Structure 1
């Protein structure tokens, strides 16, 4: 078991999760698409008793059966959980401080999957620092680019 930390973009919400494996999944359901503004969301399923909120999130009751933790200060979506009998909770992969260890092992809610967004390996690629306009804005604003 590995202890991993994470939180929102602004740092107001922080958590520690005990992780036993690298398995994660992509959810394509319409509710997750709307909740995140993305075509899918990557989650790590964690037992509720293995997750500690160091500084708690806000909660949005997104349906009659579920609620979602998020940060009301910066808007970061942090997960998904069932209201009743929620022994596990899904934590957003991108909210972990070091998300690179996780690997997707399945797709969920494939009826809403946008296939064109699944295999993007042949698309042109650009590193952040190659975008001169954005780099210039960051340097003028705070003297460095973000992590």
Structure 2
């Protein structure tokens, strides 16, 4: 199976050839800081199965791991243990993230308590594309206007 993805602006793109390894959610504090959210979701592939059409910039977030991101738009794209034969791409940087469902959770004890009550919150659907003045600059855009 072929997985394709990239950043918001379209500068940094990749292709990963399956089969994929695990898909995971990580609540650790480093992932929270890297994403600006309560967790990050990843899909792991053997590193030699990931082809970069334009390589990401890389930041060593510790002495054991590095994170790839687009230097133009800032989209977080990868997590990799330094020297490991695997690389994890961020699940929602895939062009079609619905093809993968997480099968593992890391560091659930670091999750904010409210994370597990999200299903109980009031819901409001956002449809920006319904606004005739809306323009989506993300690439690839899910709905062009």
- The normalised TM-score by structure 2 is 0.85
Q: Which residue of 1 aligns with 2:112?
A: 114
CA distance in 1, matches of 2:21, 2:64: 27
**1:66 corresponds to which residue?**
65
TM-score, reference length from structure 1: 0.84
Structure 2 distance, partners of 1:21, 1:7, is 17
Corresponding residue for 1:102? Answer: 100
- My pick for the range that moved more, 5-14 or 118-127, is 118-127
Map of 1:88 onto structure 2: 86
Q: How does 1:10-25 map to 2 (within 5 A)?
A: 10-20=9-19, 23-25=22-24
Partner-residue secondary structure (3-state), 2:92: helix
Task: Work out the CA distance in 2 between the residues paired with 1:99 and 1:57.
Answer: 19
Q: How many pairs are equivalent?
A: 138
Q: CA RMSD in A?
A: 2.1
- Residue 4 (str. 1) matches residue 3 (str. 2): yes
Aligned equivalents of 1:80, 1:22: Cα separation in 2: 14
- Do the aligned partners of residues 107 and 115 (structure 1) sit closer, same or farther apart at CA in structure 2, a change above 3 Å counting? farther
Gaps of 5+ in 1: none
TM-aligned CA distance change 1:64 to 1:23, over 3 Å:
closer
Contact in 1 for aligned 2:21/2:44 (Cα 8 Å): no
Which structure's CA Rg is the greater one? 1
Gaps of 5+ in 2: none
Question: 1:44 touches 1:92 (CA, 8 Å); kept in 2?
Answer: yes
Question: Which stretch of structure 1 is more off in the superposition, 111-120 or 98-107?
Answer: 111-120
